């Protein structure tokens, strides 16, 4: 069950930043003796690729609209990484089926990725870039904290990840509700403004 909890936590984190998840787990495997972390994640070639991709995503994720485009590209990548990590974690566990680990990791990654993508699209309707940067930094910190905490406290980390996932779904719903109301007000304002103009242009 600890492996299942770790698969869920790492899956949730993968849906937000899959390369940081691989990097944290791989480095933890390098510096410590954690039986729950698959040794393949600590290989230098895996760490190198994860580090390079994380640097790229770190920059792209903080630029408005570029982040949304990158989220679309990552729709297949993040759930896949979450599923693969789940399978690897299950493979190192004698009590967890690899298919179950993959489903849990990939499913939680897909759910958190959907929340991230939708929230960013809503945030990008705001012209200033600082909200986007702040949310991106907060996501990186949350992923780092949850994954590192999950290595030694998988149950507590899984509970935290579940709460964050539910909170993200609620936040996404509220954000899109606010955006829809804003657009409705904007359209109504434009209609009121253009109405008299059309009537003046009409022939007497």
Report the mean per-residue pLDDT for the chain. Answer: 84
pLDDT greater at residue 187 or residue 62? 62
Question: Domain span at residue 126?
Answer: 2-201
Q: Does the pLDDT value for residue 1 go beyond 80?
A: no
Q: Does the pLDDT value for residue 166 go beyond 60?
A: yes
Q: Does the pLDDT value for residue 203 go beyond 70?
A: no
pTM to 2 decimal places: 0.81
Q: Does the pLDDT value for residue 70 go beyond 80?
A: yes
- Reported confidence tier of residue 184, pLDDT bands at 50, 70, 90: low
Answer whether 95's CB lies under 8 Å from 110's CB: no
Considering its fold, how many domains does the chain have in total?
Answer: 1
């Amino acid at each position: 069950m600890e492996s299942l909890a770790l698969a869920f936590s790492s899956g949730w984190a993968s849906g937000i930043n899959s390369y940081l998840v691989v990097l944290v787990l791989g480095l933890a495997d390098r510096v410590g003796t954690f039986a729950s972390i698959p040794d393949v994640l600590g290989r230098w070639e895996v760490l190198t690729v994860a580090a390079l991709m994380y640097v790229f995503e770190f920059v792209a994720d903080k630029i408005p609209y570029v982040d949304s485009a990158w989220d679309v590209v990552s729709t297949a990548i993040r759930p896949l990484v979450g599923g693969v990590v789940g399978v690897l974690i299950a493979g190192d566990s004698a009590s967890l089926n690899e298919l179950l680990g993959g489903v849990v990791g990939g499913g939680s990654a897909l759910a958190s990725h959907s929340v991230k993508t939708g929230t960013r699209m809503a945030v990008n309707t705001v012209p200033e870039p600082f909200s986007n940067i702040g949310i991106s930094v907060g996501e990186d910190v949350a992923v780092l904290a949850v994954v590192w905490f999950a290595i030694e406290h998988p149950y507590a980390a899984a509970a935290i990840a579940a709460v964050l996932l539910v909170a993200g779904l609620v936040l996404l719903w509220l954000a899109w509700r606010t955006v829809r109301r804003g657009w409705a007000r904007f359209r109504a304002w434009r209609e009121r403004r253009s109405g008299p103009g059309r009537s003046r242009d009409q022939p007497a």
